[in-house]
Amino acid sequence: MANLPPERLAACPPFTYVGPDVFGPWSITTRRTRGGQAESKRWAIIFTCLSSRAVHIERFFALRGPAKQLQSDCGTNFIGACKELGMDKTVQTYLSQQGCCWNFNPPHASHMGGSWERMIGVARRILDSMLQQLKTRLTHEVLCTLMAAVTAVINARPLLPVSTDPQQPFILSPALLLTQKSGLPPPPGTFSDKDLYTKQWRQVQALANQFWTRWSKEYLSSLQQRHKWTVPRRNLEVGDLVLIRDKQMIRNCWPLAIVTATFPGKDGRVRKVEVKTTNQGSAKTFLRPVVELVLLLAKD
């Protein structure tokens, strides 16, 4: 397994190196009409600081300031936005003036964005199950307020096991790195499931309580080290014959490919390659992580 990238270890202000991703959607009530309600969908974009592990949901640059680097997967929403913004020279000039760049992970390499995919996976699973049980419709304002509460819950998570040393009373968390404060208590009062059907501000607090309860049970208890890819293996080389793993196809139908280019990291290990395959007589090239390839025959 590779060492952590330099962006994960940089001693820099929070949200200098950022991993963005989009999750959702959720249906909200936009306005009431005769005999019913007009609905629309809302998505959320989450920004994860690669060094402090803090998260920020929704409008980012306006609140957190410009980032030095954005790193994301090759989602169709990001690729489409990249092509759209590439046509606008004004946007390119603005990004260069801010000293910001956007890097894409290779396709089918979600593990390379594990620092933010982990946050999205747990938060989305909890939110989806909560909102599916909600009998009343959300409004845009309620959803935005709930996302702010969810952000506070996620940023309050401990980055290290809680110390038993009385000289270290504070828990190291992303919120502590962001605000230099140990935490923000919730509004006073007791909020139960009955508040889901009352005033909107009580509804948000009840939803936030539900999220915290499930977050503490499902995520915090899973904070432990996982070891994998600890044995060095041969680097893939140009000319190697490989199989491309495809979860949508049975194993006997995985396509054969030839490695046409390799991209070694700073430690000399190859984790991303370019492969060439044929499909119905036409040749195609793809970027793939080595974990999605099976070496069949070395070039020699």
Phi, psi values for residue 256, rounded to 5°: -85, 150
- Return the H-helix or E-strand segment holding 81: helix 76-86
What the block records as the tokens of 71 is: 């790193």
Let me know: does 45 contact 34? Beta carbons within 8 Å: no
Let me know: does 47 contact 64? Beta carbons within 8 Å: yes
* pLDDT in the model for residue 115: 83
* pLDDT in the model for residue 239: 92
Alpha carbon distance 51, 73 (integer Å): 18
DSSP per residue over 181-213, as a string?
SS--PPPSS---GGGGGS-HHHHHHHHHHHHHH
The residue among 228 and 300 whose pLDDT is bigger is 300
Region 212-229 average pLDDT: 68
Q: Please, which pLDDT band fits residue 223 given cuts at 50, 70 and 90?
A: low
The residue among 242 and 135 whose pLDDT is bigger is 242
* pLDDT in the model for residue 155: 85
Question: Please, which residues have CB within 8 angstroms of residue 59's CB and are 6 or more apart in sequence?
Answer: none
* pLDDT in the model for residue 182: 63
Q: Look at residue 112 and tell me whether its pLDDT is greater than 80.
A: yes
The residue among 264 and 142 whose pLDDT is bigger is 264
* pLDDT in the model for residue 178: 80
Q: Please, which pLDDT band fits residue 19 given cuts at 50, 70 and 90?
A: very high
Q: Please, which pLDDT band fits residue 196 given cuts at 50, 70 and 90?
A: low
Q: Look at residue 203 and tell me whether its pLDDT is greater than 90.
A: no
Sign of dihedral through CA atoms 128, 205, 220, 64?
positive
* pLDDT in the model for residue 171: 73
* pLDDT in the model for residue 221: 64
Phi, psi values for residue 162, rounded to 5°: -65, 130
Could you tell me how many residues make up the chain?
300
User: What percentage of the chain carries pLDDT values higher than 90?
Assistant: 14
Q: Look at residue 272 and tell me whether its pLDDT is greater than 90.
A: yes
Q: Please, which pLDDT band fits residue 181 given cuts at 50, 70 and 90?
A: low
pLDDT in tens, 40-81: 888 889 999 988 888 998 888 878 888 888 888 888 888 887
User: What percentage of the chain carries pLDDT values higher than 70?
Assistant: 81
